[in-house]
Amino acid sequence: MINKTVQEKPLEQLIISAQNGDTEVHNYLLKTYQPFVAKCVSDVCKRYINPQHDDEFSIGLTAFNDAIFSYSIEKGSSFLNFASIVIKRKVIDYIRYSQKGVKTVSIDEDFDDDQLENPTEIRIAKEHYQEKENAAMLRDEIEEFKKKLSEYKLSLMELTEVSPKHNDARESAVRTARILYADKDLREYVWKKKKLPIKGLSKQVDVSKKTLERNRKFILAIFIVLSEDFIYLKDYLKGVGL
């Protein structure tokens, strides 16, 4: 039985203890957060998950364990947000590749065995399923992105209005966001203050303070994407030079 002092510690501190080899804390995390893991897995599978019988839960718990040891508090993301993404990604990979044969296909229409004997139909069904899962993961990441934006008093609606209209301006803003994220002191300032360090950043980039202020919200939004494990969203935003 883990002591009460440990239970009262912040979650991120417990993660660090587990990473440093505290097996008692490690086991406590794996046991305590099983409902969280089940919820994440259920979000992917769109059904109730039984921790005792569903293989997907085992995959999710393994992913949660991986998240414990791969999490870095320096990225600024909460552990649970990070773990949620890792779990969902692993479960989707399991559904796609780990199961054998036609059973990997999960789509809205109910096909019988005769309908799925044709290799072309099987391939199309799998592609359709993967497209749906990719879209679902992108939606999940966008929801997480919206939550992070709200911490900076930003919204997706604002971004559509303030995003630079010309390619050169967008690319310049993205480069600025990359420089901002790469500088440890500036990065930590943004995480702490939730705002752009105009004065400090202007010393690092060949951009006027006026331009930085005009593109402030867009730069912050790109900074947030760089700070998080938004794999699908980063791929989606390649069109703006990310």
Domain segments of the chain as ranges: 4-151, 156-240
- On whether the CB atoms of residues 49 and 41 are closer than 8 A, the answer is yes
Q: What is the pLDDT of residues 136-172, one digit of tens each?
A: 667 778 888 888 899 999 998 888 888 888 888 888 9
On the question of pLDDT at 105 being above 50, the answer is no
Q: Could you tell me how far CA 43 lies from the centroid of its own chain?
A: 14
- Residue 189 near residue 200 (C-beta atoms within 8 A): yes
Q: Does residue 34 have a pLDDT over 70? A: yes
23-37, 52-66, 73-87: lowest mean pLDDT where? 73-87
Per residue in 127-141, pLDDT (tens digit) is: 665 566 666 667 778
With beta carbons less than 8 A apart as the criterion, state whether 155 and 218 touch: no
- With tokens 């997480």, the residue in question is 144
Give tens-digit pLDDT for 179-196. Answer: 999 999 999 999 999 999
Give the model's confidence band at 101: pLDDT under 50 very low, under 70 low, under 90 confident, else very high: very low
**Residue 230 or residue 103, greater confidence:** 230
Q: Residue 44: which of 103, 145, 129, 148 has the closest Cα?
A: 129
Q: How high is the pLDDT of residue 27? A: 92
